[in-house]
Amino acid sequence: MTKIMAVNAGSSSLKFQLLEMPEEKVITSGLVERIGMKDSVFTIKVNGEKLQLIKDVDNHSEAVKLVVDKLIELEIIANFEEIQGVGHRVVQGASVLTHSVVITQNEIDILESIVDLAPLHLVPNLTGIKAFMEILPNVKQVAVFDTAFHQTMAEEAFLYAVPYDWYERYSVRKYGFHGTSHQYVSERVAEILGKPLSETNTIVCHLGNGASICAVKGGKSIDTSMGFTPLEGIPMGTRSGNIDPAIIEYMMVKKNKSAKEIINILNKLSGYLGVSGISSDSRDLVSAAEKGDQRAAMAIEVQAKRIVDYIASYYVYMGGADAIVFTAGIGENAPGTRANIINRLTVLGAKIDPVRNDCRGIERLISTDDSKIKVFVIPTNEEVMIARDTMSLL
């Protein structure tokens, strides 16, 4: 019996799940929020019950100490060494860290050298890793990259048509994100269909606050909608997705803002929030649209149209697909959004079954028996992928 912790460190948060492997059983999970602020909030779920503690947690090292001390106090573990490995979700491995690795000083140096590629995420990821190394120095730390699954894309898919030295000298290319989720979901599809993974073609729609579509051919990512950063692709909760890049300079002049400020607007004030003017949360938009709010309805339609653009293009690029899958917050919980997308794909022979589609958060086939493509809802499980990789590297 091996206990593995899967960790996701953000700038002011630390999310964790403790799993028993290889059974893949979740022992406990939790979250420290507002790290570095007053009244940090520590939530831990034990036996289905949520315990909450409010106290000042100054930094990530204190957060890690708080978590492991609590695990001992609650007798979930007897001592630190009982955690045999910690797997860290790391947003970006670039073309140098192309699969999960045991973290040594060398990997930390590499991550520090590529911090420019994703400063908002990589800096907190590194802080989380260092905090665990400090508090649990004898426990192996593993990095699992959001980008790794997409390293199988061909040059024609990952190169931008910009001066080639942008790629060679500055690493400008499509990386893709949500890799562990796309991999988990596409592997599950092959299992459900009872087909070898190498013969299964799946289009995964990971629709959460951040959202991306992925073409998985024979278990390998051959294209995905997010790019150099998670801003590219379909419109999301607050992100614009693709726009004409010329808009950036145009709006810099109109609003007298810097490029950084405009990019910040594209990241934080666009997507659902920007179009609707109401909220970045799909639940708010669905209920506002039901009450007749035109812009809320339009925000949903704008996203659905672009999702369908990707699905159709990937269908052709893969030479057909066995399945389209919905996952993550919206994908798992918004039947109306799923139906709106699939109803735009009748030309591919995709047909949704309204009764089957009336479900939330469960694994289910939601297409009709005569649909030419199977459509599934499959709840994602990024933590289990992190724990699997960590386990295999121990």
Q: Which positions are annotated as active-site residues?
A: 146
Binding segment toward ligand AMP, per CB under 6 A, in 102-110, 242-250, 287-295, 326-334: 326-334
Least gap, CB of 4 to ligand AMP (angstroms): 22
**Is residue 330 at the binding interface for ligand AMP, with CB under 6 A as the rule?**
yes
Q: Is there a contact between 56 and 43 (Cβ–Cβ < 8 Å)? A: no
Q: Which listed residue (66, 148, 324, 334) binds ligand AMP by CB under 6 A?
A: 334
Q: How far apart are CA 165 and CA 331, in angstroms?
A: 38
The DSSP-derived string for 59-109 is: SHHHHHHHHHHHHHHTTS-SSGGGEEEEEEEES--TTT--S-EE--HHHHH
Closest residue by Cα to residue 4 from 105, 114, 144, 98 = 144
Binding segment toward ligand AMP, per CB under 6 A, in 84-92, 183-191, 253-261, 276-284: 276-284
Residue number with the shortest CB distance to ligand AMP?
329
Least gap, CB of 338 to ligand AMP (angstroms): 10
**Is residue 270 at the binding interface for ligand AMP, with CB under 6 A as the rule?**
no
**Is residue 329 at the binding interface for ligand AMP, with CB under 6 A as the rule?**
yes
How far CA 51 is from CA of 8, 10, 30, 38, 44, in Å, comes to 20, 21, 9, 19, 5
Q: Quick one: DSSP state of residue 168?
A: H
For residues 181-240, which are near ligand AMP according to CB under 6 A? 208-209, 237
Radius of gyration of the chain (CA): 21
Size of the site for ligand AMP (CB under 6 A): 13
The crossing angle, in degrees rounded to 10, of helices 246-255 and 259-268 is: 110
Q: Which is nearer to ligand AMP, 333 or 381 (CB)?
A: 333
**Is residue 293 at the binding interface for ligand AMP, with CB under 6 A as the rule?**
no
Least gap, CB of 280 to ligand AMP (angstroms): 7
Binding segment toward ligand AMP, per CB under 6 A, in 55-63, 188-196, 245-253, 280-288: 280-288
Q: Which listed residue (24, 281, 293, 322) binds ligand AMP by CB under 6 A?
A: 281
Starting at the edge strand that comes first in sequence, how are the strands of the sheet with 14-21 ordered?
Answer: 49-55, 40-46, 25-33, 14-21, 2-9, 83-90, 140-145, 101-102
Q: Which is nearer to ligand AMP, 87 or 208 (CB)?
A: 208
Q: How far apart are CA 177 and CA 158, in angstroms?
A: 13
Q: Which residues contribute to the site for ligand AMP (CB under 6 A)?
A: 208-209, 237, 281-283, 286, 328-330, 333-334, 360
